[in-house]
Structure formats: structure tokens, C-alpha cells
């Protein structure tokens, strides 16, 4: 007989034994000598049926009377009132929710919708204010919610009666003598239970527990067993009599299929256990395992070339997977044998084949490992060639720089421990298996590569330290095409740019120092005035005229300070790319004309003469009109501040290829210098003495807006001639 067939037969027998024998221990107490009504599932269902009978028939709650008696506790009122925050928080939230919709209704001039929204908003605001002003108002709302909950529970209990066991009963209330019956109890029965003084009366409880009340009980450290945990309940009623499940219902009624399934599953399990015992006898006598089935297979030579730690990891995962499989099959075998269908037969066949494969694969690994590593020298040799040994060598290399090595090691250990703890707590036993597989086949290979890269990183760092010490003659070794290799190449290139880097750093430090100085100066000036005039206002002897004058100055300085801060926030927002643009087709020609007209009077006051060159036809561009107006306005205001009195200012707009080009030229009042790039720096002004009004952010804001639109802004200086050119795509 073929070796593969022999191995398959042996694996099938082992799989049967490993499922059958443990299932005897698990299911025998539930099946052997047990009837249909003695099984666990039936006992649970009869208890549920009794509970439903009590609350629905024997001792039902009067909904109308119970609603009036529903209590509300002080803690519930406070929890309901502050569920969504404080009074101001809730009022603000409602106003925000309706603000946009009301604004849209106003813009659309939809009076009906506007009135409805305002009325709805005001109603909610009044309701929230009532919540915080009246305990009784909140109590009524809570009581109403509990009443709805009680009604739903009663309705649910009534609906659940259809899903309960089909019982017949003849019960008499021991206190009132009232008799309640259903069907007849004087017929053959599959299940019968008597209730009397000797055996105990049937106790019918009807309790309604407030859903979510546990939070209140916990907060006040109250015992759940106390009467306070139940908000609605009837006094228990006691009944004597008989409850049965008629035999005809089990044999030919609604329980017929369940009864047949129970008997089928029971006897099928007996058959399966016998098959398991026969399989065990066959394994011990006729079908014994032979090493040749797995030692001389085609795959054995390939398997022998695997690293020893890979073999160990695969073996561990196989053992755990096999254990999980066996446990799953033991718990599912009864259902598979009880509810037989084509789908379940296919499922059983697939599951059985999986078990055979796991058994054969496990046997293959164990036999080959024992045969291959009997020679200890071979074991030692393969250990030194394993990924684990190489990893340890890389770890030693990684710790040549102890600081980085220790940090990385702590980080990785923390990651593994956190993952293991999460898998154990959240997923459970099977989750640990998944986690372990991930660690072995994802985490450990990644850790191996990480250690290798860490060792190479330390070599790069050592060479970099030599460069930092001035030893620029020896290049950093470039190994492979990884990111670290590219980094080494870049560091080699940086050796030639050290001088440029130092100059750029010095420039950056200077600009940063100037920025801090300028920000401090521009913010401190109005703030000092505010403090000074605030102190002056504290004088009670001030006249009304003086007080009004000081208040006007305070207002002016406050607005000045507000403008500075808003401009700073705006340019920072633009620089971070968080500014949203609403692009529209805007006529730049019309926008320029409007801007020039708005500032015409100011130019006359400054004794400046505008010379504009604008086309006669529209020049369109897809831009945010509001933001683009800010660009033009900032440039014109900048021209007003820094142009020499009595000179001309030239403004032009023209099509330049596919772009629209805006040009503004003026003669500067102050000496600018040659470094035009610094004019775009924040808080940079044309007058270094900072005597003019403004935040120094005009050009920075304008440039940010232009760049957000994909345009380009350029500044040119020729002596005292100052020229700004803006290009943006027309269309």
C-alpha cells in the first residue's frame, strides 16, 4: 500500500481517537442515563417558562397603578440634569446646533422655516433651563421614561410567552383561593411537577428593575439586594397545584423535532464513542506508525534546510493549533451529530480533513527533528547559523552605542508585553495563539531586521562623530540600498556643504532673534499703553472728559493689540496649510478697480499719485475672492506706509501667457537694502525703527495666500525702487 495512503489512514484514526475519547469525559454526564427533560437546556428553559408565567399570568403588574407609584431618586435627578454638561454648556450647544440652519433660512428668506427653527430652538432652551430650575420638572420626565420602560418590559414578557415551553397547569392561589388553569393536567405527561405544602409552593414574583439604575446604586454604595434596587414590584404570590408538559406535545407536537434531535444526538454519540474505541484498538494493534512514512518524503529534504529556530516556531504553532482544533471539535461534535444536514456533513468532512492534516504535519515535524538532531554537533552548527544567533550578534552590535540600544530594547520589550497582555485580557485563549503566531512570524523577523539596521546605524553614527570632530577625509561606508544606505550617501554629500550649512544656521538664528525682538516690541507697546491708562482710570477724581479720552485711547490700543494677534494667528495658519479656500471665478480687473477706489482718498492725503494700467476687458482667475482682496489690500496699505511722499505709484494688471500678472511699483521712503527675501519674514518692516503703524505681517500674509492659490509672489529692489509682482493662473 502507498505510504501516503497509510499515513492518511493512521492520521484519520488518531484524529477520531483524540476527539472521541475526550468527548466521553465531557458529554457522558449529560447524556448517559438522561432523558429529554433531564438535560441542562431543558432545565434552563423550564425555569424561564416559570418566570414568564409568574410575571405574565399569575402575578402581573398593573401598568396604570404602577406608573403612578414609580419613584425617582435625588441622584437620578442630578445625573439626568448634568448628563450633557453644565447649564451654560447645554445652552451653548443648542445655540450652535441651530445657528447655521437659522442663518441659511435668513439668507434664503424662508420665513416659515425660520420661525419653525427659532421656535424649536427656544423650546429646547426653555426645557434645559427648566431642568436646572425645577427638580419636579426633571422628576416627571424621568418618571415618564421609566413608565415607558415598564410598559415595554410588560409587553416583552407577553410576547415571550409564545417562545416558552408548551405547559399545562392547574394552580390555586394559597391566599385568595383563585384557580388558574391552562389545558388539563390529568393526561400522560413527559414532564410533571407538583407544588404543595410538602414539596414547596410555586412562588410567583413580579419585580421591575430600573434599567441603568446600577450606576446610582454604585455611586451611593447601596446593596443591590435591598428593596431600593427594585422600583416596581408586587408582593409574591404562592400557588399549589400541578404543571405538566403533555406527552403528546413532545411526541407529536411543537417539541417533536427537539425530542427526536435529542435522541438522535444521544445515540449518534454512543456510536461515535464506539468508533473511537475501535480506532484506538486498531492503532495499538494493526495500524502502527512507521518513520519511513515521513522521513523519505520529497518535502523532507526541503524541511531539513530550514533554520532550526524556524522549525521550532512552526512546531510550536502546530501544537497550539492542534490543541485549539481538538478543543473546538470536542465542543461541536454533539451539534454536528444531532442536527445532520448537507451543510453540516460538508463542514464535518472539512473539519476532519483539517484534523488529519494537522496530525500528519505534527508527526512529520517530530520524527524529522529527532532524526536530524541526534548528532549534537549538527545541532550546535545549525544553532550558530540560526536567525536567533544572528539576531543576538546584531543585538551586541546595536548596543555598541548603549544609549540608543537601551532605548530601542526597552521600547520593543514594552511593545511585546503590552501586546501579550492585551491578547490575554481581551481575546482570551485563542487570541494568545494568534498573538504568538504574529510574534513568531511577524514580530521576530521584524526584530531581526531591526537589530541588523540598528548595528549599521551605529556604524553610521560612529563615522558621523568623526565628521563632527573635523575628520572629513574618511567617507561613511554605504551598504545596500536601504534608507540607512541612502542616509550614509547623504551624509557623505553633506561633508561638502558644511560651510553653507553653518552660514544658514547663523542666518536662521539671527532672524529668529529679530522675530522675538519684533514680536515683543509690537505686542508690548499697546499693552504698556493699556496698563498705563487703566491705572489712570482708577483715579476717582477724573473728570468725565478725561475719563472718556482715556477710554478712547484704551479702545484704540486694544484694537491695535487685537489686530496684531489676529494677523499673527492668520499667517501661522496659512503657513501650516490649514487655511481653506473657496475658489470662484473672480474678475481681477474689477477687484483691482474697487481696491484702488477704496484707497484713493488715502493716497491723496499721503501726497501719492496713482498711475494705473488696467485692461478694458475682464481678467478672470479661479481664486478665493475674499482672500485675494486681502492680498491686494495688504499690498496697497504697504505702499501707503512706505512710499516716499510726492512720488508716483504704478499699478498694473495684464495677461502674461496663461497667467494674470499684478505689478505694483513705488519709491521707498526708507532704505531697504539688497536682501529682499527677509521682507517676507514675519514682523519684518521697511523701517527698522518701527515707527509706522502695522503688524509687519502684510507681505507675509499676502505671500502665503498667493502660494495657497498656486501662484508666485516676487519682490525686486533697485536702489529705492520697490516692485512687487504677482502671477496667478488665469481662467
pLDDT at 632 over 50: yes
β-partners of residue 234 are: 206
pLDDT (tens digit per residue) in 105-122: 898 888 998 899 999 999
Determine the Cα–Cα distance for residues 718 and 674; give it in Å rounded to an integer: 8
pLDDT at 15 over 50: yes
Contact 643, 669 (CB under 8 A): yes
- Which percentage of the chain shows pLDDT scores above 70? 77
Predicted pLDDT at 255: 82
Is 501-562 a CATH 1.20.120.1200 domain? Answer: no
Q: Where are the domains of the chain?
A: 3-33+255-384, 36-252, 387-474, 501-562, 579-729
Cell triple for 9 = 489512514
Predicted pLDDT at 702: 84
The closest alpha carbon to 611, from 658, 659, 643, belongs to 643
The closest alpha carbon to 644, from 621, 679, 664, 669, belongs to 669
497 DSSP 8-state letter:
G
The closest alpha carbon to 660, from 726, 590, 569, 568, belongs to 726
The domain at 579-729 falls in which architecture? 2-Layer Sandwich (3.30)
pLDDT at 427 over 60: no
Give Cβ neighbours of residue 238 (< 8 Å, ≥ 6 apart): 173, 174, 175, 201, 202, 203, 204
CA atoms within 13 Å, Cβ hemisphere of 640: 20
**306 or 430, greater pLDDT:** 306
pLDDT interval class at 281 (50, 70, 90)? very high
Q: Over range 637-643, report the average pLDDT.
A: 89
Whether the full predicted model's pTM is greater than 0.95, yes or no, is no
Predicted pLDDT at 666: 93
Q: Strand, coil or helix: what is 667?
A: strand
Predicted pLDDT at 435: 63
Predicted pLDDT at 225: 43
Predicted pLDDT at 33: 83
Predicted pLDDT at 214: 44
Predicted pLDDT at 211: 43
Determine the Cα–Cα distance for residues 488 and 477; give it in Å rounded to an integer: 7
Cell triple for 140 = 416627571
Determine the Cα–Cα distance for residues 207 and 213; give it in Å rounded to an integer: 14
pLDDT (tens digit per residue) in 502-552: 566 666 566 566 556 666 666 777 788 888 888 888 888 888 888 888 888
Average pLDDT, the chain: 80
pLDDT (tens digit per residue) in 466-489: 777 766 556 667 767 666 677 777
pLDDT interval class at 401 (50, 70, 90)? low
Predicted pLDDT at 484: 67
β-partners of residue 204 are: 237
Cell triple for 123 = 423650546
Predicted pLDDT at 520: 67
Three-state SS sequence of 298-311: HHHHHHHCCCHHHH
Most confident of 51-65, 633-647, 664-678: 633-647
Contact 190, 37 (CB under 8 A): yes
Task: Write the DSSP string, 384-425.
Answer: HTSHHHHHHHHHHHHTTSHHHHHHHHHHHHHHHHHHHHHIII
Determine the Cα–Cα distance for residues 591 and 630; give it in Å rounded to an integer: 11
Q: Over range 183-195, report the average pLDDT.
A: 91
pLDDT at 169 over 90: yes
pLDDT interval class at 500 (50, 70, 90)? low
Instruction: Give me the torsion for CA of 153, 156, 157, 161, rounded to 10°.
Output: 180
Predicted pLDDT at 405: 56
Q: Strand, coil or helix: what is 724?
A: strand
pLDDT (tens digit per residue) in 240-272: 999 999 988 888 877 888 888 888 888 888 888
pLDDT (tens digit per residue) in 665-720: 999 888 776 555 555 444 344 444 444 454 457 787 888 888 888 899 998 888 88
Cell triple for 648 = 508716483
pLDDT at 229 over 80: no
Q: Over range 133-140, report the average pLDDT.
A: 89
pLDDT (tens digit per residue) in 572-586: 666 666 677 889 999
Amino acid at each position: 500500500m502507498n505510504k501516503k495512503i497509510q499515513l492518511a489512514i493512521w492520521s484519520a484514526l488518531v484524529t477520531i481517537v483524540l476527539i472521541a475519547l475526550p468527548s466521553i469525559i465531557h458529554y457522558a454526564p449529560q447524556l448517559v442515563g438522561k432523558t429529554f427533560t433531564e438535560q441542562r437546556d431543558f432545565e434552563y428553559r423550564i425555569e424561564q417558562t416559570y418566570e414568564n408565567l409568574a410575571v405574565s399570568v399569575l402575578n402581573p403588574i398593573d401598568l396604570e397603578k404602577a406608573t403612578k407609584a414609580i419613584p425617582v431618586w435625588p441622584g437620578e435627578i442630578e445625573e439626568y440634569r448634568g448628563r450633557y454638561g453644565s447649564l451654560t454648556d447645554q445652552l451653548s450647544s443648542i445655540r450652535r446646533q441651530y445657528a447655521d440652519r437659522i442663518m441659511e433660512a435668513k439668507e434664503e428668506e424662508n420665513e416659515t422655516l425660520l420661525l419653525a427653527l427659532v421656535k424649536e430652538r427656544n423650546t429646547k432652551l426653555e426645557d434645559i433651563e427648566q431642568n436646572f430650575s425645577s427638580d419636579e420638572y426633571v422628576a416627571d420626565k424621568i418618571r415618564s421614561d421609566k413608565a415607558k420602560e415598564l410598559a415595554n418590559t410588560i409587553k416583552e414578557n407577553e410576547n415571550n410567552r409564545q417562545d416558552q415551553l408548551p405547559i399545562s397547569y392547574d394552580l390555586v392561589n394559597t391566599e385568595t383561593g383563585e384557580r388558574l388553569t391552562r389545558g388539563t393536567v390529568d393526561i400522560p405527561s413527559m414532564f410533571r411537577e407538583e407544588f404543595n405544602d410538602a414539596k414547596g409552593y410555586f412562588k410567583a414574583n413580579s419585580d421591575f428593575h430600573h434599567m441603568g439604575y446600577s450606576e446610582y446604586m454604585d455611586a451611593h454604595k447601596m446593596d443591590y439586594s435591598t428593596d431600593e434596587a427594585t422600583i416596581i414590584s408586587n408582593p409574591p404570590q404562592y400557588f399549589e397545584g400541578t404543571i405538566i408538559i403533555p406527552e403528546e406535545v413532545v411526541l407529536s407536537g411543537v417539541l417533536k423535532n427537539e425530542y427526536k434531535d435529542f435522541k438522535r444526538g444521544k445515540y449518534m454519540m454512543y456510536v461515535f464513542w464506539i468508533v473511537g474505541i475501535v480506532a484506538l484498538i486498531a492503532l495499538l494493534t494493526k495500524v502502527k506508525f512507521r518513520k519511513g512514512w515521513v522521513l523519505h518524503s520529497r518535502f523532507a529534504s526541503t524541511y531539513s534546510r530550514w533554520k532550526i529556530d524556524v522549525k521550532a516556531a512552526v512546531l510550536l504553532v502546530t501544537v497550539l493549533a492542534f490543541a485549539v482544533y481538538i478543543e473546538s471539535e470536542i465542543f461541536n461534535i454533539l451539534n454536528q451529530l444531532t442536527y445532520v444536514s448537507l451543510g453540516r456533513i460538508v463542514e464535518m468532512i472539512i473539519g476532519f480533513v483539517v484534523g488529519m492534516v494537522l496530525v500528519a504535519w505534527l508527526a512529520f515535524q517530530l520524527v524529522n527533528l529527532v532524526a536530524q538532531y541526534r548528532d549534537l554537533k549538527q545541532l550546535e552548527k545549525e544553532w550558530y547559523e540560526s536567525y536567533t544567533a544572528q539576531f543576538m550578534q546584531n543585538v551586541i552590535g546595536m548596543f555598541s552605542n548603549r544609549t540608543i540600544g537601551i532605548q530601542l530594547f526597552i521600547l520593543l520589550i514594552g511593545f511585546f508585553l503590552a501586546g501579550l497582555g492585551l491578547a490575554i485580557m481581551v481575546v482570551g485563549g485563542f487570541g494568545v495563539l494568534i498573538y504568538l503566531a504574529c510574534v513568531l512570524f511577524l514580530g521576530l523577523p521584524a526584530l531581526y531586521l531591526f537589530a541588523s539596521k540598528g548595528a549599521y546605524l551605529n556604524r553610521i553614527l560612529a563615522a558621523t562623530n568623526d565628521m563632527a570632530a573635523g575628520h572629513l577625509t574618511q567617507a561613511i561606508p554605504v551598504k545596500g540600498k536601504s534608507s540607512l544606505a541612502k542616509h550614509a550617501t547623504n551624509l557623505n554629500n553633506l561633508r561638502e556643504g558644511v560651510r553653507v550649512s553653518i552660514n544658514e544656521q547663523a542666518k536662521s538664528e539671527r532672524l529668529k532673534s529679530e522675530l522675538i525682538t519684533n514680536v515683543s516690541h509690537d505686542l508690548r507697546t499697546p499693552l504698556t499703553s493699556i496698563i498705563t491708562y487703566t491705572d489712570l482710570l482708577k483715579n476717582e477724581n477724573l473728570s468725565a472728559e478725561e475719563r472718556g479720552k482715556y477710554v478712547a485711547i484704551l479702545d484704540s490700543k486694544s484694537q491695535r493689540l487685537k489686530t496684531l494677534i489676529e494677523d499673527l494667528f492668520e499667517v501661522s495658519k496659512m503657513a501650516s496649510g490649514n487655511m481653506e479656500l473657496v475658489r470662484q471665478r473672480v474678475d481681477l480687473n474689477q477687484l483691482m478697480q474697487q481696491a484702488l477706489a477704496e484707497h484713493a482718498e488715502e493716497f491723496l492725503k499721503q501726497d501719492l499719485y496713482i498711475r494705473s494700467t488696467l485692461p478694458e476687458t475682464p481678467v478672470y482667475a479661479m481664486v478665493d475672492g475674499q482672500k485675494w482682496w486681502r492680498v491686494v489690500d495688504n499690498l496697497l496699505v504697504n505702499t501707503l506706509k512706505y512710499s516716499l511722499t510726492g512720488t508716483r505709484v504704478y499699478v498694473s494688471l495684464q495677461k502674461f501667457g496663461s497667467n494674470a500678472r499684478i505689478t505694483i511699483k513705488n519709491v521707498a521712503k526708507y532704505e531697504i537694502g539688497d536682501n529682499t527675501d527677509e521682507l517676507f519674514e514675519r514682523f519684518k518692516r521697511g523701517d527698522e525703527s518701527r515707527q509706522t503703524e502695522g503688524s509687519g505681517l502684510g507681505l507675509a500674509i499676502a505671500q502665503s495666500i498667493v502660494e495657497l492659490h498656486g501662484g508666485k509672489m516676487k519682490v525686486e529692489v533697485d536702489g529705492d525702487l520697490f516692485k512687487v509682482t504677482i502671477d496667478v493662473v488665469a481662467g
